[in-house]
Amino acid sequence: MRSRYSAYVLGRYDYLRDTWHVSTRPDAFDEQTVQRKWLGLTVRRHGAADDRATVEFVARYRVNGRGQRLHEVSRFMREHGRWYYLDGELL
């Protein structure tokens, strides 16, 4: 989760695509995602069982001068020893 957040901050969309599970990976990132200025990440809870994991987090960002929060429970899956982002439920 933290590495994916860092990739958003640094604009490393190649890394985000590589860590997004192929079954749910988008073809491209929308313009609003690219324009976000990321301000901070708080991981609220996490848990793993076998090859599945969840992470609840709050990420703060700014778009067009307005502060926003992204509060999500993300699902991850491990394949061949590597974790992939599956999807998330916005809270």
Low-confidence ranges of the chain (pLDDT < 50): none
Distance CA 5, CA 7 (A): 5
DSSP assignment of 17-37, as one string?
A: HHTB-TTT--SS--HHHHH-E
Give the domain ranges of the chain: 2-90
The reported pTM is 0.90
CA distance 80 to 39: 33
> What's residue 35's pLDDT?
87
pLDDT value for 47: 97
Question: Was domain 2-90 assigned CATH 3.10.450.50?
Answer: yes
